[in-house]
Amino acid sequence: MDLVIQLLLNGIVNGSHYALLGLGFGLIFATTRIVHFAFGSIFTFGAYVAWFVSGYMGAPIFLGLAAGVVVAMGLGVASYVGLYQPLERRGVSPLIPLIASLGLTIVLENLVGIIFGTGARTIDAETSIHFLGPAFFTSIHVWQVVSFLLVCVLLYLFVNYTRYGKAIMAMTDDPEMARVIGIDTARVSILVFALGSALSAIAALLVTLKDGASTHMGFTAVFMGFVAVIVGGVGSLRGAIAGGFLLGLVESLGLWKISTEWQSSIAFIVLFLMILLRPHGLFSLARR
């Protein structure tokens, strides 16, 4: 029983991380319909920039976070304006931006290695350990959950109560109708690329504090974000949250009966089962 409680706790922490990635990836995907796989490389960039500022230069963690967020937002916006938008204007098939995104992923990942080196990087941060009955958690775990909850509240308020939040809602529902009612869809796309990339940088800093950063960390991030979105239902931010949590809990609780070497396969199994049993996802109709 002690093990189950610990796994459940780990599941909530991992679920918060995956849900945050799902929100970032899903915000971009649902609004623009662009499968932005370079989200993973931008996540890596955010982690390394945060490490450079806080780990290498020794600046406070919040400055590392701010730097990571700013660079990630810049890269996100640049990837839309410099790559996807010109393709959109040419009216190419959705497959072309997908291929372009994979190319951009490789370029950015190599750029991280060239700029920061290819070795693993860690940030020394004071970490306290807490106990909840027989289970333990660290202050970084708390930050992962708290950051996720904070992002959820802010995003909810933004989407439901601001003009541009409603524009995101409209584009998610029907991009052509969004243009018909006078929404500048290019501007909204830039906004969601900036927001989604900022979320990736927040998740990146927290995971770097916990596990350190490596140049290939982006693949797992984008994959988990992608699975969270597919499981939750494309177009639903609530779905991305539910998908992320489901993934985190199943992955963690799976270890109760399955050997740890199978842990990385659990996300694939969840994805396959979801595609087979409920292809539209958990929240396919609920857009918010």
Count of other CB atoms within 10 angstroms of residue 172: 25
To the nearest whole angstrom, how small is the minimum distance from the Cβ of residue 177 to other proteins?
Answer: 6
Q: Is residue 183 close enough to count as binding other proteins by CB under 8 A?
A: yes
Q: Is residue 179 close enough to count as binding other proteins by CB under 8 A?
A: yes
Q: Is residue 182 close enough to count as binding other proteins by CB under 8 A?
A: yes
Strands 129-132 and 135-138: antiparallel
Q: Is residue 176 close enough to count as binding other proteins by CB under 8 A?
A: yes
Q: Is residue 184 close enough to count as binding other proteins by CB under 8 A?
A: yes
Q: From the list 111, 169, 234, 253, which residue makes contact with other proteins (rule: CB under 8 A)?
A: 169
Q: Binding residues for other proteins, how many (CB under 8 A)? A: 21
Q: Is residue 96 close enough to count as binding other proteins by CB under 8 A?
A: no
Return the residues of window 3-62 that contact other proteins according to CB under 8 A: none
Q: From the list 145, 170, 240, 241, which residue makes contact with other proteins (rule: CB under 8 A)?
A: 170
CB of 272 closer than 8 Å to CB of 232: no
Q: Is residue 234 close enough to count as binding other proteins by CB under 8 A?
A: no
To the nearest whole angstrom, how small is the minimum distance from the Cβ of residue 276 to other proteins?
Answer: 25
- What is the total residue count of the chain? 288
Scored b (16 or more CB within 10 A) or e, 278-287 reads eeebbbeeeb
Q: From the list 98, 157, 177, 273, which residue makes contact with other proteins (rule: CB under 8 A)?
A: 177
Q: Is residue 166 close enough to count as binding other proteins by CB under 8 A?
A: yes
Which residues, 6+ apart, have CB-to-CB distance to 119 below 8 Å?
Answer: none
Question: What does the H/E/C string look like for 111-167?
Answer: HHHHHHCCCCECCCCCCCEEEECCEEEEHHHHHHHHHHHHHHHHHHHHHHHCHHHHH
To the nearest whole angstrom, how small is the minimum distance from the Cβ of residue 287 to other proteins?
Answer: 4
Return the residues of window 146-165 that contact other proteins according to CB under 8 A: 163
Query: Which is nearest to 81 in space by CA: 180, 191, 234?
Result: 191
Q: Is residue 126 close enough to count as binding other proteins by CB under 8 A?
A: no
- Name the DSSP class of 50: H
Rounded CA-CA distance 39/222 in Å is 6
Helices (H), 174-279: 175-180, 185-211, 217-232, 237-253, 263-277
To the nearest whole angstrom, how small is the minimum distance from the Cβ of residue 111 to other proteins?
Answer: 33
Q: Is residue 180 close enough to count as binding other proteins by CB under 8 A?
A: yes
**Which residues contact other proteins by CB under 8 A?**
163, 166-167, 169-170, 173-174, 176-177, 179-186, 235, 285-287
